[in-house]
Amino acid sequence: MQRFKIFAYSWVITFLQLLFRSAWGIISVPVAMEFHLTSVQIGLVLTLFYVGYVISSTPWGLFIDSHGVRHAILISSLSSSFIILLIFLFPSYDVILISYLLAGFLVSALFPSSVKIVSVKLSPLYFYLGILESSAPFAVLLLSLISGLLYEYWRIFYLLLFVSLLSVFFITLFMEEEYASRKRREMRLLFTKAIILSILVRSGEMWISWGTTAWLFPFLVLYFHFSCSSLIFLLFSLGLVSSTAVSSKLPGLIGEKKVVQLSLFLYILLLFLLFLSRIVWLSFFLGVFSFSFRSPTDSMIVKFAGKENSSSSIGIANTISQVGSLLAPVSIGLAVKFSPVLGIFTLSGGAFLSLAVSFLI
């Protein structure tokens, strides 16, 4: 029961920060219509979020390994909740930009904290990381199910997120010390060839995961005019959830590296097949293989670094690899400005990069 509570806590805090950034992929549509945004302005919101996320990830990781999880989550949950509240109180494009930028600096503490808890308290690592990272697919699934409500009540979403993060703060305030690893440990060398190459693979994966999440729905609705775009996005979201079965089980059979390579290859194939053939059910498998590479890659990074440096290694990995997340939304937006088809090719670029680098590990 105690293991379940530890893991549930880690999963929820990861889920909330992913819900915040993933929501823009749907909320961007009504916001773009209300404020008459261009494709570049749509992409700029998440790009600014990842500016903050990238800059702060390594400092947060080092802080967590040195001082423990509890303080990091208390600071992050309280401050980010009030930043997000600004969107509800003063809804405008400028406020959204500023809030996403500031929130990026703050919520980047939550995922390394979850990884620290899981790596210290639970094993096997690849299994629990796979389940932990299922929080992203579940966030996208929830958003797809409430997409109709988000069109009309997107401001209320940010109010509810404020309440949720504030609740995390109060729960953490009374959290037992055993939930976190507070012991200071010496840093090992974190820039070996294997770690650097794994982080490069992760960079391309970030481009794929958050580029697809941010742009799939706008592609379907605004640019390719699919008649059943909501169904396609729902199937994609169900595929994301199902990716957990691949990422948490398959590495034990064929190894993390092969799971990563198989997922990247199938993502490329399915992305082009979906938009060329317009076969709706392909979106489910696109969802599966647009995320099944994530936890095996993170598992490799943590194993190479050692669990005593789990937060630091993930923090450094976030700093470097989230450049892919930072550049993808606005880069795809620029490509779409010339041609929607060019936007699809730009989105697939991260998969080609990661697949090529993976063979060097």
Provide the residue ranges of all domains of the chain, joining segments of one domain with +: 2-177+190-358
Q: How far is CA 126 from CA 122, 288, 320, in A?
A: 10, 17, 22
pLDDT (0 to 100) of residue 190: 66
pLDDT (0 to 100) of residue 188: 54
pLDDT (0 to 100) of residue 122: 66
In whole angstroms, give the CA distance from residue 177 to residue 47: 36
Helix extents (H) in 174-293: 193-218, 229-249, 251-254, 256-277, 282-289
Worst-scoring range by mean pLDDT, 19-28, 29-38, 183-192, 335-344? 183-192
Over residues 287-326, the pLDDT tens digits come to 999 889 988 898 888 788 776 676 677 778 877 887 787 7
Q: In the 8-state DSSP scheme, what is residue 252?
A: H
3-class state of residue 269 by DSSP: helix
Nearest to 72 by CA among 361, 315, 285, 275: 315
pLDDT(180) > 50: no
CATH code given to domain 2-177+190-358: 1.20.1250.20
Higher pLDDT, 326 or 361: 361
Band the pLDDT of 170: cuts 50, 70, 90.
very high
H or E stretch covering 16: helix 2-35
- What is this structure's pTM? 0.71
Over residues 27-41, the pLDDT tens digits come to 888 888 888 888 788
Higher pLDDT, 276 or 315: 276
Q: What percent of the chain has pLDDT over 70?
A: 93
